[in-house]
Structure formats: C-alpha cells, structure tokens
C-alpha cells in the first residue's frame, strides 16, 4: 500500500460487514428468465479474498453472522453455509503465507477447491439427515459460477478496497 494509509481494524471490520451484506443481496437479483443462470456465492469469494489479503483475520462473529444471514435470506439450510464459510476462512487464514507466495491461478484453484469441499459437505450433511439435497448438477453449476466470479472479487478487494498482500513469502519460508 504505497502512499495510502491502511484502514484500522474496526474500519476493515465495518467495511467487510457492508460488503458482505451487499454480496448477500446481490445473490437475490434474478440473473435471467427461467433460472438458467445461477448466482455465484459472492460472500464466499469476498471472505476468502479478504482473509488472504487483510493483515489480520476478520472476527468470527462477523463471519458467522454473515453466513447465517446468507443462509436465511437465500433459503439455504441454516447453519451449514455459515459453518462452511467459517471453516474455509480458517483454513485460508492458516495457509495465508503459503498462498501469498504462489501465483494467482494457484490461489484461484485453492478457492475453488475450498468451495467444492463446502458444497460436498453440505450435500453429505443433507443426505445423512435424509433432508432433500440439491442435485449434484445444480451444485456443479454453483461451483462453476463461484469459481468464475472469484478473480473479479479478488481484484475488487485488492484494488478497490486496497487490501493487497503486503509481501510475498520467500520459497523457503513457505516450507516451514
């Protein structure tokens, strides 16, 4: 962040809250007639891009609150999406240094794999409880839409919000 002042932690938390609410409501906008297009999970993209670029992790209460709000407003199984979002954010946060040292396509692939694991976990939980689970084809459509949206959201976080990775990890530091 050359020349720009860094946001304070409360300001970053408030900004993530605001952008998270916008991401949730953006998913409510119809994309086309007949439901052929599915909206990407912009909240997931935002949180993962934020966690990988912010100097510190967002508060757990914020991630759980945004996840629960998304579950309720988007008519998803309550709590499963929030749990998946929290787990993905924790895994991304713990691997932040490793992912900072890799090129962006590797980060993109890691984000897509993380979302695929969330969808698989939700599908498994719904099947285990005998609840109606979405068809795997529908889940694949959500995965593709979210994976395609991730670079745009990461670019918006990096340039629009000015959260950029401060430094690249040295290859030897990544291995320890």
- Whole-model pTM: value is 0.87
What is the pLDDT at residue 64? 98
> For residue 2, which of 122, 167, 176, 169 has the smallest C-alpha distance?
167
Rounded Cα gap, residues 133 and 130, in angstroms: 8
Which pLDDT value is given to residue 101?
Answer: 83
Q: What is the pLDDT of residue 5?
A: 64
> Which residue ranges in the chain fall short of pLDDT 50?
1-3, 167-176
93 with 51: CB under 8 angstroms? yes
**What confidence score (pLDDT) does residue 27 get?**
92
Q: For 11-32, give the DSSP string.
A: HHHHHHHHHHHHHHHHTTS--S
123/142 Cα distance (integer angstroms): 13
């Amino acid at each position: 962040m050359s020349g720009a002042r860094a946001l304070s932690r409360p300001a970053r938390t408030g900004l993530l809250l605001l952008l998270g609410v916008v991401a949730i409501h953006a998913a409510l906008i119809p994309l086309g007639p007949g439901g052929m297009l599915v909206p990407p999970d912009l909240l997931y993209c935002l949180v993962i891009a934020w966690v990988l670029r912010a100097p510190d992790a967002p508060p757990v209460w914020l991630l759980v609150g945004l996840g629960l709000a998304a579950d309720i407003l988007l008519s998803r199984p309550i709590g499963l999406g929030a749990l998946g979002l929290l787990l993905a954010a924790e895994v991304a946060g713990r691997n932040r240094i490793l992912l900072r040292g890799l090129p962006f396509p590797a980060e993109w692939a890691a984000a897509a794999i993380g979302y695929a694991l969330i969808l698989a976990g939700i599908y498994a939980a719904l099947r285990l409880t005998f609840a109606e689970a979405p068809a795997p084809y529908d889940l694949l459509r959500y995965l593709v839409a979210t994976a395609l949206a991730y670079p745009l959201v990461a670019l918006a976080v990096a340039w629009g919000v000015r959260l950029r990775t401060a430094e690249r990890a040295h290859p030897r530091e990544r291995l320890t």
